[in-house]
Amino acid sequence: MAKKTDPILQLIELPFVRDFLTQKGGENAIPVLKLVLEMGNAVTDEQVAEKMGVKVTVVRAVFNRLHFWGIADYTKTRDENTGWWTYTWFLVKEKIKEAVLEELKEREEELRKKREELDQFMFFVCPEGHVREPFEVAMEYDFKCPECSAELVPLDTDAEKASIDKELDDIWKAERILAEI
Ligand SMILES: [Zn+2]
C-alpha cells in the first residue's frame, strides 16, 4: 500500500502556499519545512543542516522566524553528562493550517471581486496602449483614443479570467487538503 503523503507536504507544493511560507520563514523555509516533515517532525537544527549541506546558523534562522509566527516550536532536553541542552524542533501543523486558511480566504475574496469586475464591466482599450476605459467612458470619447484618435477596441479579458480561475482552482485544492489536517 502506498504511503499517504503528509497533507502539509501536499500543501507546500501549491505556489501561493510556498510564497506565503517563504515570506514568513525566509528563502530557505521550504526546504527546511520539507526536511522536518520527512524526518518525522522531530529534529535538531544540526540534523537539518547536515542533510541540507548548509551552515547550522542558516537553519537556526529559519526556525527562529517560524517560531516567531508559531509555525515551529521546540522541546529542550539536557544531557546529564555534558550539561548541554538539545533543542528538538517540530512543526505546529495546526498553526500552519490556520495561517494558510486565513491567507487563502483573503486571496479568494480578492480574486472573486476581480473576477466579478471582469464579468460585469466591458473595457475598451487603445491598440497603442494609451487608455483602458469602461464602456461608458469609451462612449463619451466616441470610441476614439483621446491621445492618438485610434479606434478603441473591446479588451479581451479571456486570458485574465483563465488565470484567475486557475488560481481559484488551486485555492479549492488547498481547502480540500486542509480539511484532512
Ligand atoms: Zn491611443
Q: Give the predicted TM-score (pTM) of the model.
A: 0.72
Residues 106 and 164 in one domain: yes
Tell whether the model's pLDDT for residue 114 goes beyond 90. Answer: yes
Tell whether the model's pLDDT for residue 140 goes beyond 50. Answer: yes
Distance 156 CA to ligand 1 centre (A): 17
- Domain end point (choices 69, 91, 113): 91
Residues 74 and 139 in one domain: no
Q: What distances in angstroms separate CA 106 from CA 125, 154, 163, one per listed residue? A: 30, 30, 17
Q: Let me know: does 43 contact 36? Beta carbons within 8 Å.
A: yes
Distance 153 CA to ligand 1 centre (A): 11
Pairing assessment for the beta strands 123-125 and 153-154 based on DSSP bridges: antiparallel
- Rounded-to-integer distance, Cα 154 and Cα 132, Å: 9
Residues 106 and 68 in one domain: no
Tell whether the model's pLDDT for residue 57 goes beyond 50. Answer: yes
4-8, 146-150, 177-181 — most confident range: 146-150
Q: What average pLDDT does range 100-116 have in this prediction?
A: 92
Number of C-beta neighbours around residue 109 at 10 A = 10
Residues 75 and 103 in one domain: no
Is 2 inside any structural domain? Answer: no
Residues 14 and 58 in one domain: yes
Nearest to 116 by CA among 165, 159, 72: 165
Distance 151 CA to ligand 1 centre (A): 8
Confidence of residue 4 (pLDDT cuts 50, 70, 90): low
Number of residues that make up the chain: 181
Distance 148 CA to ligand 1 centre (A): 4
Which domain does 30 fall in, by range? Answer: 7-91
- Domain end point (choices 91, 119, 140): 91
**pLDDT at residue 29 in the model:** 96
Distance 161 CA to ligand 1 centre (A): 25
Distance 122 CA to ligand 1 centre (A): 18
Q: Let me know: does 89 contact 63? Beta carbons within 8 Å.
A: yes
Residues 86 and 101 in one domain: no
Residues 118 and 48 in one domain: no
**pLDDT at residue 1 in the model:** 46
Distance 115 CA to ligand 1 centre (A): 26
Residues 37 and 60 in one domain: yes
Residues 87 and 101 in one domain: no
| Tally of domains in the chain | 2
Distance 120 CA to ligand 1 centre (A): 24
Is 62 inside any structural domain? Answer: yes
Residues 114 and 86 in one domain: no
Per-residue pLDDT tens digits for 7-34: 888 888 888 889 889 999 999 999 999 9
Is 116 inside any structural domain? Answer: yes
The mean of the pLDDT values for the chain is 92
High-pLDDT (> 90) share of the chain, %: 67
Distance 134 CA to ligand 1 centre (A): 15
Is 1 inside any structural domain? Answer: no
